[in-house]
Structure 1
Amino acid sequence: MRVLCSSTLIGEFFVIGFAGLVAMKDDSLATSTVWWVCGIAMLLSVLLCGMITRPGGVQLGWALQIALIASGFVVPVMFFLGAVFAALWWASVHYGRRIDQVKADWAARQETATAGAQGSAGPDAA
């Protein structure tokens, strides 16, 4: 799950930065405000890469997705891009958990097979 979610978050990092460049063109917004908001969101997206597997990491990711969609009120194309990244986030969490479960099952089977092979080559093999 960590790899898929981190990939989505790094993609969002760049989209947030580009959205900040577009938002700077709006005369009603102060440049410093735009970059404070974008900077915090970009920093959060990078920090979340390391927090995915910790408690609350996925929920913070969902909060970022909601904020990304809400940024569409400032940069209208972000409604669409936010929805796309929210779908990617869902897929990353959903399929990432499935992949983690399959990996854990496979590792358990390998451990059992290895233990069984070692047990049959034990004291009776001599």
Structure 2
Amino acid sequence: MRHPKRVLAASTLVAEALVVFFATLAATALHREEQGSYLIAGGVLALLCVLCAGVLRSRAGYALGWVLQVVIVASGFVVPEAFRWTMVAIGVAFAGIWFACLRVGTRVERERDQVARGLGERRGPDGA
């Protein structure tokens, strides 16, 4: 059975990886002097988002997800000035989405477990 929190969190990280990738391309177009640095940093961040989505079976995966949220918000301060506040806003928006997905996913899992326990109690020990 799928875990709603994991599905929501993984979806958020994959979407965030795409946004980071395209933002990296935009940053390199705006600041050609450091094009290589931006491509490497943005590529690593996007790859880490995708890899983190794959390790959400453990608490460490969720901790890494939080670290990525902080790093992505902070990365907005190293891009060209014309792009800075847009990147910070995007990072903050994804951090908010990440937080909401974890909260909602946890609540759905808890409620699903309560319903399953309630159905098990109503059926009785023999399953009938």
TM-score by length of 2: 0.83
Give the unaligned 5+ runs of structure 1: 122-126
In structure 1, distance between residues paired with 2:100 and 2:20: 20
In structure 2, distance between residues paired with 1:104 and 1:49: 24
Give the CA RMSD over aligned residues: 1.7
Q: Report matched runs for 1:23-102 at 5 Å.
A: 23-25=27-29, 26-31=31-36, 33-73=37-77, 74=79, 75-76=83-84, 77-102=86-111
Letter in 2 for 1:36: I
Q: Deviations over 1:60-93 (max 9, x none)?
A: 1111111111121214111100010010011011
1:118 corresponds in structure 2 to 126
1:18 corresponds in structure 2 to 22
**In the alignment, is the contact (CA less than 8 A) between 1:23 and 1:29 conserved in 2?**
no
Q: Structure 1 59/108 Cα, relative in aligned 2: closer, same or farther at 3 Å? A: same
Letter in 1 for 2:50: V
Task: Give aligned-pair identity as a percent.
Answer: 35
Letter in 2 for 1:118: D
Cα offset, 1:117, TM superposition:
7.2
Q: Structure 1 segments of 4 or more deviating over 6 A?
A: none
Cα offset, 1:99, TM superposition:
0.9
2:117 corresponds in structure 1 to 108
Letter in 1 for 2:126: Q
Question: Greater Rg, structure 1 or structure 2?
Answer: 1
Cα offset, 1:101, TM superposition:
0.7
In structure 1, distance between residues paired with 2:68 and 2:11: 14
Letter in 2 for 1:72: G
Cα offset, 1:110, TM superposition:
2.2
In structure 1, distance between residues paired with 2:122 and 2:14: 38
